[in-house]
Structure 1
């Protein structure tokens, strides 16, 4: 019976651990760093920022403007003859649109300097029970605010999920559509969910594979364990009954043998007296 108690306790612990894992998320999905484009540059506060108007020109007078206002060289901002604008230590005020042109040319070149950060990728996988709710958040921030779009299996999520169950809202940073909520979840909601982030000409994404489990999925292992416990109890009960019966029969045989020996001894005594 002590073994049975230990087994039942182990089963209960297993059931508790299994129930706690019925809704889970995997580790964060791997993703590369955000890559700048020719027209869009990323600002990192406190770090240098360099923009080159024409790499093939080494000596030219270059006019630089930011948001339509001419840029004047200073201790923090340097203008070099190789058409490069160099900011020693970038700050929030340096975000904006930069244009450059050479004095003998009318053609201009434009750069957009933005701030962008993705605090955390979506998990590699997300498991949720049917009829529960699915909540995904794209933890992105930027200045100006980036555009966030959700796709399911390559299609806009609005076209894949019924609008009565779908809610798009701001994330903690105030980015529109940064958070996605589906409530209640249906089996058809399984698939690959992608958060597509657009910042000027930069695009970046993070994805998660969503698996919707049957609402009774967590119940079947429990019922299986209960069935195993019942079968084990029946086996132990039958074994104990047989053991007790065997001991009882052996005891009866011993008593009969003892009684027979006594009777034989008694008969021998009677014969001796005669």
Structure 2
């Protein structure tokens, strides 16, 4: 019933055609057109709405000692539900190797690293993909002997990971 969608974004023209602008998930469904003179004549159209995935990774940054475990969570929404993939420094994680230190939990929404080493320092990216598009978010892991607690203002820092180490940039000093 179009009365339920009483919005400026929905118009029915004199010829009976329906025009929708600013499509949202609430517009998804079946739209049936009935002939005015013969109600037995009708035509139904199905509107499927796809959304770009939304991704939020937590924590944004964490510091761990060698040998410890680290976990990262990827909160994803989208229509249809996106495929979740993890990358490290822009390279897909090698998940199918025997004795692998990576474990995916909950359809890939949690990444767990076991027995971490200095080489595990890096930018871990959660990438969500569906027909609406691709979206990414990053969680940074720093492996060091004396991990520092993560303060809220550290989430604003920018980290550049190199073969020779990590560069940390403060937003106020850029």
TM-score in same-fold range (> 0.5): yes
Consecutive unaligned residues of structure 1, counting only runs of 5 or more, are 1-72, 97-110, 171-175, 219-274
Tell me the matched-pair count: 124
> Per-residue CA shift, 1:146-184, capped at 9, x if unaligned?
1111000111112698753211121xxxxx211101112
2:122 to 164, 170, 191: 191
What is the distance in 2 between the residues matched to 1:164 and 1:141? 28
> Per-residue CA shift, 1:174-202, capped at 9, x if unaligned?
xx211101112122111111111112141
Are the equivalent residues in 1 in contact too, given 2:71–2:110 (CA < 8 A)?
Answer: yes
2:69 to 123, 133, 149: 133
Q: Tell me the equivalent position of 1:78.
A: 11
Note if 1:207 corresponds to 2:135.
no
Note if 1:180 corresponds to 2:111.
yes
Q: Displacement of 1:120 after TM fit?
A: 3.7
Are the equivalent residues in 2 in contact too, given 1:148–1:177 (CA < 8 A)?
Answer: yes
Are the equivalent residues in 1 in contact too, given 2:59–2:72 (CA < 8 A)?
Answer: no
1:94 to 12, 19, 28: 28
What is the distance in 2 between the residues matched to 1:116 and 1:210? 27
> Per-residue CA shift, 1:105-132, capped at 9, x if unaligned?
xxxxxx9622466474444422112111
Are the equivalent residues in 2 in contact too, given 1:95–1:115 (CA < 8 A)?
Answer: no
Q: Tell me the equivalent position of 1:27.
A: none
1:25-36 aligned at under 5 Å gives the runs: none
What is the distance in 2 between the residues matched to 1:159 and 1:89? 38
Are the equivalent residues in 2 in contact too, given 1:138–1:195 (CA < 8 A)?
Answer: yes
Are the equivalent residues in 2 in contact too, given 1:122–1:206 (CA < 8 A)?
Answer: no
Q: Displacement of 1:92 after TM fit?
A: 5.0
Give the secondary-structure state (helix, strand or coil) at the position aligned to 1:188: helix
Are the equivalent residues in 2 in contact too, given 1:161–1:189 (CA < 8 A)?
Answer: no
RMSD over equivalenced CA pairs, Å: 3.6
Higher helix share: 1
Higher strand share: 2
Are the equivalent residues in 1 in contact too, given 2:84–2:127 (CA < 8 A)?
Answer: yes
